[in-house]
Chain A
Amino acid sequence: MIARAFVRFCFCAIVSVGVSVGIPGGLCAQNAVPAIKLQAARIVVAGANAPANERDHVARKWVRGLIQQELNAIQNVCKLNEKQAKELVDLIETEWRTKFASVFRSYSEANQRGGVDFEFRVESAVKTWLREVESINEEQRSAWNYELDSRNELRRRIVIGKMVSDAERKFGLSSKQMKEVEALLHERWKEAWWIMYRNGTTPETKFAWISTALSEAQRTAGADTSGIRQEYYTSGGSIDLPSRPLADRFTVAGVTSDESIPLQPPPAADAPGQRDR
């Protein structure tokens, strides 16, 4: 029994050495593992929540960057005290990975940006976290809500402005009519327009929405749909999304997240072939 076990051990050892030193031959070629597979295996070993691939890693860095930016803005607007800051930052450091698991997955599986609105998801998550921190008072929360409303108002102005510019070309509007059309579109505002715009398409201005602002001749002529539509790809990834390394802890009001909360192991440091963004 012992002799048989020894022989089996020796055989395994010889085979493994053969693979590691790259001995040519049919047996070694069959056992050769592609570099990509080896890399993936190493990432999986690093941690259950670790990035699955490069895109996943990039997405995580963007999300962390956006969260940190939101924390800075919260501090500017709400003026958190040390206790509030500690509670908030610890909560975020604990939950951020699970909260955005679906975001990372959809981004890493998609070819491009995959229709993931990082900004919107981070805003919603931070709003929820602010509600969960009991020490933050109502006044601070309403101040932050006002801030979010202000952002949305700017987005609305931009999207409607783009739609008015598009209508100006299609229907031949005068400057006075542009203002009228702007007011009409404000009345009809839909959040979906912003999402469309974020994904690279200016929403279409329907004739029926603005027909009251048009002259008889313009109504008869209808829309000029033949021209090239305006296309704005505003979600240019790392151009306008801040990035933060996975090893850097969240900080707000000079308070950093607790050391006891494990950080995500950064795979970029030892994984070959990964770009550092």
Chain B
Amino acid sequence: MTTPRFDNPLSMKVRRIRPLVHSAILHSAILHSAILHSAILHSALALYALATMSLRLEAQDVTVVEAAVGQAAIGQAAAVKEDAKQGAKPKSDKGSEKVSEKVSEKIPRAFDRNRPEPEEEVEAPKKNAMVNFAMDPDRWTDVIYSQLGGSEATFEQQQRRRVRSTINRIELICTIDEKIREKVQETAELEIQRFKTEVLALATQGPRNPTQEEYSEFYNKVFKLTERFRQQNQPNAARKMPLWQKVLYSNLSDQNKEELEKDNRKRAEYRQQVVRLEVLLRISRRLGLTSKQREKLEPYTLSNTEAWKTLDQAWQTLQQFPEKEKREIFTPEQIQELKKPLEHSDDLQLVIREFGDDL
């Protein structure tokens, strides 16, 4: 059931005021002087005209409201009465303010043109700043992950793949229970999450407008944080075993561990042998060795593996060979050539990267 109501607060006010105005006109006409009368008359007429206009508007502004709403309007009208006495602002305005606040909360900050100014002013870049934009934590996060060869997503992907690949390899040698597999994967996942938290914490500490010195100082921290993951690509001796590998290793039987160690040694030996052969080929190129001479030299590469890791080391080792052995392997021309030091060309830098292995 609906009832038509006049719920315009202003019109309500005016309707109530109108009889008072009439009485005021009568009283004033009797009691006060002509000047006062005329002034009051003018004001009263003005008020009367306003009231009349308001009533006309009211007639057009008929709305259909629920009964409950109507009661609320009555309550509102009562409140208006009191407000009129106190000269305070009507409550309905406060309500509309609240609504507008709620609406403004829903507008995304990026699209809100009337958003308040930030309390803290953005610090202007220093004169000696490295970059002319602010290095916010997001940028620093990108910098940190770039040290590991990609983005955050790439890092996660790499780490998960690494775990999977290691488990797959181990399963070729010994069986791993599903429970252990899950445990290892969970540990790896935890390790990833921990690292991500560390990255975030460090990124928030990053200077916003770093100078060269500040950048270097912070970069050292980044280097230190990412070290353990970068070392995964280094030979075993130089790196610390990740936690998930420790978990995996501790859950294997002694026999399995032994088998794995054996396989690791074989794989490492394979890689080292390739490196030694490469050094031998370069020595051969430099000295012009024949296949027979290489055959004679190859056993030496096996007996002292450390000396055949680089061309420089191998060259020095050959220079220190006893004369008798030199004469057995090399020709006089080659022995003369061997006396010369290795010249380092600045045309091309020699870059050799080796990879360590997992378990």
Q: Interface on A for B, CB 8 Å cutoff?
A: 69-70, 72-73, 76-77, 112-113, 119, 146-147, 150-151, 154-155, 157-158, 161-162, 164-165, 168-169, 171-178, 215, 217-218, 221, 224, 226-228, 230-243, 277
A178–B149 alpha-carbon span in the complex (Å): 27
Give the chain A neighbours of B175 by CB distance below 8 A: none
A76–B149 alpha-carbon span in the complex (Å): 50
Give the chain B neighbours of A215 by CB distance below 8 A: 168, 171-172
Q: Given A215-B172, A217-B171, do A226 and B353 touch, yes or no (CB 8 Å)?
A: no
Give the chain A neighbours of B98 by CB distance below 8 A: none
Give the chain B neighbours of A239 by CB distance below 8 A: 282, 286, 311, 342-345, 350
Contact between B290 and A241, CB atoms less than 8 A apart? no
Q: Is B251 an interface residue (CB 8 A)?
A: no
A178–B280 alpha-carbon span in the complex (Å): 22
Q: Is B54 an interface residue (CB 8 A)?
A: no
Give the chain A neighbours of B342 by CB distance below 8 A: 239
Give the chain A neighbours of B168 by CB distance below 8 A: 172, 215, 217-218, 221
From B173, B271, B286, A165 is in contact (CB under 8 Å) with B271
Q: Is B115 an interface residue (CB 8 A)?
A: no
Give the chain B neighbours of A77 by CB distance below 8 A: 290
Contact between B270 and A226, CB atoms less than 8 A apart? no
Give the chain A neighbours of B350 by CB distance below 8 A: 233, 236, 239
Give the chain B neighbours of A228 by CB distance below 8 A: 149, 233, 353
Give me 8 A-to-B residue pairs in the complex whose CB atoms sit less than 8 angstroms apart, sorted by A's number.
A73-B288, A168-B270, A171-B165, A177-B172, A215-B168, A228-B233, A230-B354, A236-B348
Contact between A236 and B274, CB atoms less than 8 A apart? no
Q: Is B192 an interface residue (CB 8 A)?
A: no
Q: Which residue of A lies closest to B358 (CB)?
A: A172
Contact between B331 and A72, CB atoms less than 8 A apart? yes
Q: Nearest Cβ distance between residue B140 and chain A, in whole angstroms?
A: 22
A100–B52 alpha-carbon span in the complex (Å): 112
A176–B353 alpha-carbon span in the complex (Å): 24
A238–B358 alpha-carbon span in the complex (Å): 37
From A161, A172, A231, B165 is in contact (CB under 8 Å) with A172
Give the chain A neighbours of B352 by CB distance below 8 A: 231-233
Q: Interface on B for A, CB 8 Å cutoff?
A: 149-150, 154, 157-158, 161-162, 164-166, 168-169, 171-173, 233, 263, 266-267, 270-271, 273-274, 277-278, 280-282, 284-294, 311, 331, 333-334, 337, 342-345, 347-355, 357-358
Contact between B271 and A175, CB atoms less than 8 A apart? no
Q: Nearest Cβ distance between residue B271 and chain A, in whole angstroms?
A: 5
Give the chain A neighbours of B267 by CB distance below 8 A: 168, 173-175, 178
Contact between B158 and A238, CB atoms less than 8 A apart? no
From B166, B294, B334, A154 is in contact (CB under 8 Å) with B294
From A221, A226, A232, B164 is in contact (CB under 8 Å) with A221
From A161, A221, A241, B161 is in contact (CB under 8 Å) with A221
Q: Which residue of B lies closest to A119 (CB)?
A: B285
Supply 17 further A-B pairs (C-beta < 8 A) apart from A72-B331, A226-B149.
Answer: A112-B347, A119-B285, A165-B355, A169-B357, A172-B169, A221-B165, A221-B168, A224-B161, A227-B149, A230-B353, A234-B282, A235-B348, A236-B345, A237-B345, A239-B342, A239-B344, A242-B337
Contact between A224 and B162, CB atoms less than 8 A apart? yes
A165–B357 alpha-carbon span in the complex (Å): 10
A69–B288 alpha-carbon span in the complex (Å): 5
Contact between A72 and B274, CB atoms less than 8 A apart? no
A177–B345 alpha-carbon span in the complex (Å): 39
A151–B331 alpha-carbon span in the complex (Å): 18
A236–B315 alpha-carbon span in the complex (Å): 15
Q: Which residue of B lies closest to A76 (CB)?
A: B290
Give the chain A neighbours of B289 by CB distance below 8 A: 73
A168–B280 alpha-carbon span in the complex (Å): 23
A176–B259 alpha-carbon span in the complex (Å): 12
A150–B289 alpha-carbon span in the complex (Å): 11
Q: Which residue of B lies closest to A111 (CB)?
A: B347
Give the chain B neighbours of A177 by CB distance below 8 A: 172
Q: Which 3 A-B pairs have the closest CB atoms?
A: A69-B288, A161-B274, A237-B345
A161–B331 alpha-carbon span in the complex (Å): 30
Contact between B353 and A241, CB atoms less than 8 A apart? no
A70–B290 alpha-carbon span in the complex (Å): 9
A177–B267 alpha-carbon span in the complex (Å): 10
Give the chain A neighbours of B233 by CB distance below 8 A: 227-228
Most buried by A among B164, B349, B351: B164
A165–B278 alpha-carbon span in the complex (Å): 13
Contact between A76 and B311, CB atoms less than 8 A apart? no
Contact between A147 and B353, CB atoms less than 8 A apart? no
A150–B348 alpha-carbon span in the complex (Å): 28
A69–B333 alpha-carbon span in the complex (Å): 9
Q: Nearest Cβ distance between residue B350 and chain A, in whole angstroms?
A: 5
From B166, B274, B348, A172 is in contact (CB under 8 Å) with B166
Contact between A154 and B288, CB atoms less than 8 A apart? no
Contact between A226 and B161, CB atoms less than 8 A apart? yes
Give the chain A neighbours of B278 by CB distance below 8 A: 158, 162, 232, 234
Contact between A174 and B353, CB atoms less than 8 A apart? no
Contact between A161 and B347, CB atoms less than 8 A apart? no
Give the chain B neighbours of A72 by CB distance below 8 A: 288, 331, 333-334
A221–B158 alpha-carbon span in the complex (Å): 12
Q: Which residue of B lies closest to A75 (CB)?
A: B331
Give the chain B neighbours of A164 by CB distance below 8 A: 270, 274
